[in-house]
Amino acid sequence: MNKNKEQLLNKRYKAEKRFRLYGQSAIFMALLFLTIFIFKIFSTGYSAFQKTWLIVPVTFDAELMMLDQNPSKEDLKDADYYDIALKSMADLDPNANEDQENELKRMVSYFFEREIKRELLNDPSLIGKTKDVYLTASDDLDQVFKGNYPRDLPEDQRRVTDYQLKIFDQLVELGKVESKFNLSFFTYPDSREAELAGIASSFMGSIFSILVCLMIAFPVAVLAAIYLEEFAPKNRFTDFIEVNINNLAAVPSIVFGLLGLGILLAVFQLPRSTPLVGGITLSLMTLPTIIIACRASLKAVPPSIREAALAMGASKMQTTMHHTVPLSMPGTLSGTIIGLAQALGETAPLILIGMVAFVNTIPGSPLDPAASLPVQIYIWAESAERGFVEKVSACIMVLLGFLIIMNLFAQIIRHKFEKKWS
Amino acid sequence: MNLILFTFIVLLGFTSYYFGRRKAYTIQSTNKRLTALPQFYGYYLAIWCAIPAFIIFSLWAIFEPTIVKLLILSDYSNQGYLDDELNLIYEKTKALSRGQFTGEITPFIEASAEKYLSLRSIAQSSKAVIVLSIIIASVAYAYKKISSNSRTREPVEKFLKAVLFTASLAAILTTVGIVFSLIFQTIDFFKVIPLFDFVFGTHWYPAKAFVRDSSEALDPTMYSDTFGAVPIFAGTFFIAFIAMCVAIPIGLMSGIYLAEYASVKVRQYAKPLIEILAGIPTVVYGFFAALTVGPFLKEIGNSMGLDVSAESALAAGGVMGIMIIPFISSLSDDVITSVPQSLRDGSYAMGATKSETIKKVIFPAALPGIVGSILLGVSRAIGETMIVVMASGLAANLTLNPLESTSTITAQIVVILIGDQAFGDPKTQAAFALGMSLFLVTLCLNIVALRVVKKYREKYE
């Protein structure tokens, strides 16, 4: 009998231990996913912050550029750079035949003559002289140099030919290949060529959308929250509003995209693909988040504050506007920032209102067509070129960086400025 | 032009505020008692400036385009044009006047464009004159009113309250907007495709509808077997099911562990770390699923001799499950923490171990709340878009094999609506019909979930 009891007890203790273990492994799994995730993004993305350059001697031959003697600045701008650019690439291998010259040309970026042009415009005295110019390597060679490209594939399966690799290796040996910080990733707009693609256009698109979203969502949400928390009578209608808000907070984001498409674009005829429409759509999504946060922090203001103000003869409106609302601001602001961070990461609604259009200019206002950072991630992730994979990861790193900063900021506001009532 | 006018009106508003306050001081200096603080006199005047300006601006925005259009088209009224042609003429006129017209410029259109521009400038200047004169009149009237030291605080506060009330209608307006944007297209869609075919059809090939020549009349029979949504609905619930298979055990167990076992320190770090998973944008999960998880599963499958699609439902559902873990873990954590301590104490006093208490006492007590959190998770899984678009297939297969690719409601909406859309095309309308079904399903789930959670809260608070 006693033995039986002991067995039972042991069994129960074992069950206890097992259960605890389940819990621990659940937490461990969740954290493991997070770690793998972050590791994967960083390990594929960090190399995008470096860019490979080929150092190529360029002879600025006035004749080839169709320049007269003593050309003016205008002449230099209009001159023909393609021929000298082509020639300087072909000169890398004096014995190259026509096909090989073509291959040589494709070792650098698509717009390599612009880089040569910029060099000459910076220093017009170079005419007739030879100078080593930094040319952006093609994205395939860039990947080869970073070691992301399998060299042992059969030649017909890779986009880099054996000949290009041979010349490239010679250049590497001569120290004519250099890796530098990839500034153009931050300053260039999107491009079809991976080596020239940057996040400037989508970054500005995101900024404009978020600003529009903030300007609409914040005032409306705060005013609505003040009404609902401080003034609204308890009746069916207010309950209805409340149900609406709670539901909207859980409606899938793509439905808001359909709203933007069906109402903002089709009925109000707002311009397609613009951060204005994107921002309005996002603001409708963020509205419930901010209202809920603002109401919670208004509720947290103790009634004694209101009673004291009313006792001093302030009207209800004065009490609210001068005392309750300012005290609730830290909570509201941190809720707003969290809502904006959500909006910043949103993709699906923006795709539906056309913010996936290929934009190769940097938008200057919310009325110019633009993409946004998450949409840029989607666009690049869908393109087949190998060079875009690291760009996607790098773009994700930038986006995550912003989200982390915003969330930290929200935390700081909450901890530093929020009064603890006890 | 509008901007200048707007700044001018704002300046006028500030001036009238200043005049109102000064009036209050002059009343005060005659040793009369004011009926409100001086600034209320200022606000009062400023409101009398803002309201008429707002009304006229909105009236103008509504009526100006219609009236200009009528005036322009009156030139063409006796020439037997159809309505569509008249609209086209008007669009051409507008484009030409903006200098964006490409195509042949006829003298008629050129004349209309000139007329359009002159009408617009007349409209603008008359708007400016009318706005300014009415504002000045109304402010003067209000100024006279406050001279007699009448009440100003009450009307100002009433106005503010009205503004607050209007803002709170935004939530209702958004819901109405969602329903309106979906309902008309959906109704049009069901005029062409019978509801029965949509709900019970098993073939979904919206691309087929695209081949139609726009000059042909709509022939409903050619759409049979095109818009059968069963594979889409099945795919949606299947992927959501896979996601919940990952999210429920991990989320629930971590919620329980955090609430009952974890020390303060573990909780302090683990909880925010898990919640990071909820803050990662879904497009990032999609990329992760497509780049890493999909090929990884394919490789494993191939090594075991299984035929795994690189865009399998398993990859999309699994990654979606990871995304949902924090929703379930933090909600169930909250729910479990709010179970009264007395229930635990009672159970311990009877000699139960911690896990027995959790399984037999706390879990049943917290069940409604946990069910609510799971329902919210399901609603999120059904509405999730980017992971499916990027990691699962876009072809609608009717399958229950998690290793094949399936498609979901959200993915189909994106596939149909990406790029240019032609409103009035059954394919576009199909996307809105799918959106409507998505909205209704998630709405039901949300309402049930929120109600369950609310009931539960009321029980213990």
Q: What does the pLDDT average to over B314-330?
A: 93
Q: Which of B153, B157, B169, B181 is best to mutate for the A interface (most A CBs within 10 A)? A: B181
Weakest mean pLDDT among A7-11, A127-131, A154-158:
A154-158
Nearest CB partner across the interface for A246, out of B169, B174, B450: B450
Instruction: Test B414 with A24 for CB contact under 8 angstroms.
Output: no
Secondary structure of chain A as H, E, C letters: CHHHHHHHHHHHHHHHHHHHHHHHHHHHHHHHHHHHHHHHHHHHHHHHHEEEEEEEEEECCCCCCCCCCCCCHHHHHHCCCHHHHHHHHHCCCCCCCHHHHHHHHCCECCCHHHHHHHHHHHCHHHCCCEEEEEEEECHHHHHHHHCCCCCCCCHHHCCCCHHHHHHHHHHHHCCCEEEEECCHHHHCCCCCCHHHCCCHHHHHHHHHHHHHHHHHHHHHHHHHHHHHHHHCCCCHHHHHHHHHHHHHCCCCHHHHHHHHHHHHHCCCCCCCCCHHHHHHHHHHHHHHHHHHHHHHHHHCCCHHHHHHHHHCCCCHHHHHHHHHHHHHHHHHHHHHHHHHHHHHCCCHHHHHCCCCCCCCCCCCCCCCCCCCHHHHHHHHHHCCCCHHHHHHHHHHHHHHHHHHHHHHHHHHHHHHHCCCCC
Joined together, the tokens standing for residue A404 give 């982390």
Q: What is the pLDDT of residue B338?
A: 87
pLDDT at B211 over 70: no
**Does B213 score more than 60 pLDDT?**
no
Q: Which helix (H) or strand (E) holds B421?
A: none
Q: What is the pLDDT of residue A171?
A: 84
How far apart are the C-alpha atoms of B132 and B57, rounded to whole Å? 11
Nearest Cα residue in chain B from A239: B172
Q: Does A9 touch chain B (CB under 8 A)?
A: no
**Contacts A220 to B, Cβ<8 Å:** 167, 170
Which residues contact residue B251 at a Cβ distance below 8 angstroms, ignoring those fewer than 6 apart? A26, A30, B324, B325, B326, B327, B328, B329, B332, B377
- The pLDDT score that the predictor gives to residue B222 is 62
Average pLDDT, chain A: 87
Which two structure tokens, joined as six digits, stand for B163?
């503004």
Query: What residues contact B132, with CB distance under 8 A and at least 6 apart?
Result: B8, B12
Q: What is the pLDDT of residue B244?
A: 95
Q: Whose structure tokens read 């009238």?
A: B16
Please determine, for residue B217, whether its predicted confidence score (pLDDT) is greater than 70.
no
Q: Strands across the sheet with A50-59, in order?
A: A130-136, A50-59, A177-181
Q: How far apart are CA B283 and CA B275, in angstroms?
A: 17
Q: Between chains, do A41 and B276 touch, taking CB under 8 Å as contact?
A: no
Helices H / strands E in chain B, number of each = 18, 0
To the nearest whole Å, the CA of A328 is away from the closest chain B CA by: 17
Residue found under tokens 């190998």: A386
Mean pLDDT on B390-418: 83
Measured torsion, CA atoms of residues B123, B128, B130, B135, in degrees rounded to the nearest 10: 150
The yes-or-no verdict on residue B270 having pLDDT over 80 is yes
Distance CA A273, CA A350 (A): 8
**CA distance readout (Å), B277 to B271, B314, B376, B458:** 10, 19, 16, 30
Residue whose pair of structure tokens reads 């913010």 in the numeric block: A355
Provide the angle, in degrees to the nearest 10, between the axes of the packed helices B264-279 and A2-45.
40
Distance from CA of B243 to the nearest CA of A (A): 14
Nearest residue on chain A to B319, alpha-carbon basis: A33
- The answer to whether the complex's ipTM is over 0.85 is yes
Contact predicate A245/A231, CB 8 Å: no
Closest residue by Cα to residue B440 from B199, B144, B257: B199
Q: Between B289 and B419, whose confidence is greater? A: B289
Q: Which residue has the higher pLDDT, B95 or B303?
A: B303
Distance between A23 CA and the closest CA of chain B, angstroms: 5
Ordered domains of chain A (ranges, CATH): 51-180 (no CATH), 200-417 (1.10.3720.10)
Q: Coil, helix or strand for B395?
A: coil
Give the DSSP letter of residue B257: I
pLDDT at B426: 80
- A374 to chain B, any CB pair closer than 8 A? The answer is yes
Report the C-alpha gap between A5 and B248 in whole angstroms: 35
Predicted confidence (pLDDT) at residue B400 exceeds the cutoff of 60 = yes
Q: Answer yes or no: are the C-beta atoms of B366 and B335 closer than 8 Å.
A: yes
Q: Which residues of B touch A246 (CB under 8 A)?
A: 446, 450
A194 closest CA partner among A81, A51, A315, A314: A51
Partner B, chain A 268-287, Cβ-Cβ below 8 Å: 284, 287
Using one digit for the tens of pLDDT, what is the confidence trace for B342-351?
A: 999 999 999 9
Q: Given an 8 Å threshold on Cβ–Cβ distance, is A381 in contact with B287?
A: yes
| Tokens representing residue A290 in the block | 């901010």
Q: Judging by beta carbons within 10 Å of its beta carbon (0-12, 13-18, 19+), is residue A422 exposed, middle or buried? A: exposed
Alpha helices in B226-362 (DSSP H): 230-256, 264-279, 282-288, 294-303, 313-337, 341-349, 354-357
Q: How far apart are the C-alpha atoms of B277 and A33, rounded to whole Å?
A: 9
Model confidence band, residue B128 (pLDDT cutoffs 50, 70, 90) = confident
Check if the beta carbon of residue B314 is closer than 8 Å to that of residue B328.
no
Contact across the interface for B353 and A347, Cβ inside 8 Å: no
Nearest 5°: the CA angle A192, A197, A199 is 130
* Half-sphere CA count of A268, side-chain side, radius 13 A: 15
Q: How confident is the model at residue B428 (pLDDT cuts 50, 70, 90)?
A: confident
pLDDT tens-digit series, residues A296-329: 999 999 999 999 999 999 999 999 999 999 999 9
pLDDT digits (tens, 9 = 90+) for B130-178: 888 998 899 888 888 887 777 888 889 999 999 999 999 988 999 999 9
Instruction: Give the span between the Cα atoms of B217 and A282, in whole angstroms.
Output: 39
H/E stretch holding B418 reads none
Residues 297-326 in A contacting B (C-alpha not used; CB under 8 Å): 315-317, 321
- Given a contact cutoff of 8 angstroms between Cβ atoms, the answer to whether B310 and B393 are in contact is no
Calpha distance A357→A179 (Å, rounded) = 32
Q: What is the mean pLDDT of residues B433-448?
A: 92
Does B281 sit within 8 Å of A251, measured CB to CB? no
Instruction: Return the minimum-mean-pLDDT range out of A100-104, A133-137, B388-392.
Output: A100-104
Query: What would the mean pLDDT of B242-246 be, rounded to a whole number?
Result: 94
The answer to whether the CB atoms of B254 and A23 lie below 8 A apart is yes
Q: How big is chain A by its Cα radius of gyration, in Å?
A: 30
Rounded to whole angstroms, how far apart are CA atoms B193 and A294? Answer: 45
Is residue B95 a contact partner of residue B101, using CB atoms and an 8 Å limit? Answer: yes
Task: Give dist(CA A129, CA A59) in Å, integer.
Answer: 6
To the nearest whole Å, the CA of B118 is away from the closest chain A CA by 23
**Mean pLDDT across the stretch B207-211?**
59
Return d(Cα B450, Cα B456) in angstroms, integer.
10
Cβ partners under 8 Å of residue A348, min gap 6: A253, A254, A257, B282, B385, B386, B389, B410, B414
User: Which pLDDT belongs to residue B421?
Assistant: 67
pLDDT of residue A306: 93
Q: Distance (Å, rounded) from C-alpha A128 to C-alpha A60?
A: 5
Task: Report how far residue B370's alpha carbon sits from residue B13's, in angstroms, rounded to the nearest whole number.
Answer: 54
Q: Which residues of B touch A316 (CB under 8 A)?
A: 157
Q: Identify the band that residue B219 occupies on the pLDDT scale cut at 50, 70 and 90.
A: low
Identify each DSSP E strand in B97-214 by its residue range. none
**Contact residues, chain A, for B252 at CB < 8 Å:** 26
Report CA dihedral (A132, A136, A137, A142) to the nearest 10 degrees.
130
A248 touches chain B (CB under 8 A): yes
Residues of chain B found within 8 Å of residue A284, distances taken between Cβ atoms = 174, 177
> What mean pLDDT comes out for the span B226-238?
87
Domains, chain B, with CATH or none:
2-151 (no CATH), 230-460 (1.10.3720.10)
CB-based contact, A215 to chain B, within 8 Å: no
The CA-CA-CA angle for residues B396, B401, B403, to 5°, reads 90
Please compute the mean of the pLDDT values over residues B58-76 and round it to a whole number.
82
Closest CA to A213 of A339, A370, A77: A339
Least Cα distance to A351 among A249, A282, A270 occurs for A282
Chain A CB contacts of B253 below 8 Å: 22-23, 25-27
A vs B, Cβ pairs < 8 A, gives: 263
Quote the tokens at residue B319: 């990654």
Q: A386, A143 in Cβ contact below 8 A? A: yes
The mean of the pLDDT values for chain B is 85
Contacts of B56 (CB under 8 A, 6+ apart): B127, B130, B131, B134
Whether pLDDT at A1 is above 60: no
Res. B240 pLDDT band, cuts 50 70 90: very high
Tell which of B62, B154, B168, B325 to mutate to test the A interface (max A CBs under 10 Å): B168
Model confidence at B60: pLDDT above 90: no
Contacts of A23 in chain B (CB under 8 A): 253-254, 256-257, 260-261
**Can you tell me whether residue B149 is helix, strand or coil?**
coil
Residue A84, strand partner residues = none
Which residues of A, range 22-81, sit inside 8 Å of B by Cβ? 22-27, 29-31, 33-34, 37, 40-41, 44
Residue of B nearest to A226 (CA): B164
Residues 6+ apart with CB under 8 A from B381: B239, B240, B243, B244, B247, B320, B321, B324
Q: Return the residue in B37, B236, B385 with the most chain A beta carbons within 10 A, the one to mutate for interface testing.
A: B385
Residues in chain B: 461
What pLDDT is attached to residue A189?
A: 87
Across the interface, do A261 and B379 touch by the CB < 8 Å criterion?
no
Instruction: Answer for the pair B337, B299: CB distance below 8 angstroms, yes or no.
Output: no
Confidence of residue B218 (pLDDT cuts 50, 70, 90): low
Question: pLDDT over 90 for what percent of chain B?
Answer: 28
pLDDT tens for B6-49 read 888 889 889 989 988 888 888 888 877 888 888 888 888 889 88
In this prediction, residues A262-266 reach a mean pLDDT of 87
**Rounded distance between C-alpha atoms, residue A342 and residue A210, angstroms:** 10
Closest Cβ–Cβ partner in B325, B356, B423 for A30 = B325
- Interatomic CA distance for residues A80 and B326, integer angstroms: 59
Chain A positions touching B327 (Cβ under 8 A) are none
Query: Is residue A126 within 8 angstroms of chain B, CB to CB?
Result: no
Residues of chain B contacting A30 with CB distance shorter than 8 Å: 250-251, 254, 274, 277, 322, 325-326, 329
β-sheet bridge partners, residue B23: none
Of A227, A251, A377, the CB nearest to B165: A227
